Amino acid sequence: MEPIYFYKMSGSGNDFILIDGRTLSIKELNLSDLAKRLCHRTFGIGADGLIVLDKAEEADFRWYFFNADGSEAEMCGNGGRCAARLANLIGLAPQRMSFLTKAGIIHAEVDGSRVKLELTPPFGLKLGIRLSLNDREERVHFVNTGVPHTVFVVEDLEGIAIKETGKRVRFHEYFRPAGTNVNFIKIVGPNEIHIRTYERGVEDETLACGTGSVASAIIAYKLNRVTPPVKVKTKSGEILEVFFDEDLNQVFLKGDTRLICKGEVLEEVFK
């Protein structure tokens, strides 16, 4: 097996394994299987997702993003910020860059450990969806910020059964076949919300979600509850900043990243 070298990074509590794909024969690798093995938290390195960077003609680089369960995702905000920082560190991209994802071309700017990401314009906005759940009707909201997100506005974040409720909504017939990520937010001020997220593909609560933070800020804005820029306090305690214009044609996500470690994947992970 050819050596596979990796970096591990965190974006506000979302952790990722990143690989410089220029050193690999990517077409010969089963990246879905690799993601499941490497992201496993007891038999692998452990992460929310796997990101493989490679050269591209249309942008500074392209990425391949896989969730911990092996499913390929269109976009990931915190993963995108980590990818941008690493691409700059390894000389794959300048400080101001573009990279190709399944959601389209994403632009980013790296300033030390902080990264500002411009997402593709959101679409599919729906407010006040009446969803039958647990023998009762819930009022939820939806927007796609590169990946689908459903948002609950609640008063008590700590009292929510995140995994149970999140799973039921994620697989709800209303959102088939793609499914949805599920966010629970508390609006605490005119420019601040707190958030907890159940992530599709991880199938559990994560400590942060970039596209979910953007989706939730946009929903809160459309409900006339906040004005941009919006500070989003994640489960990890870190703050993400969301910027957007009135027409939502330009949407930005900004926050810290951490480069945790680097190493080599050994063959026994494939046993």
Which residues participate in catalysis according to the annotation?
76, 209
Q: Let me know: does 184 contact 212? Beta carbons within 8 Å.
A: no
* Distance between CA atoms of residues 43 and 39, nearest Å: 8
Q: Which residues pair with 67 in a beta bridge?
A: 49
Element holding 255 (H helix, E strand): strand 251-256
**Residue 190: phi, psi to the nearest 5?**
-70, -10
- Residue 19 has, within 13 A of its CA and on its CB side, a CA count of 26
What is the rounded distance in angstroms from the CA atom of residue 254 to the CA atom of residue 110? 10
How far is it between the farthest Cα atoms of the chain? 55
Token couple for 138 = 């819930």
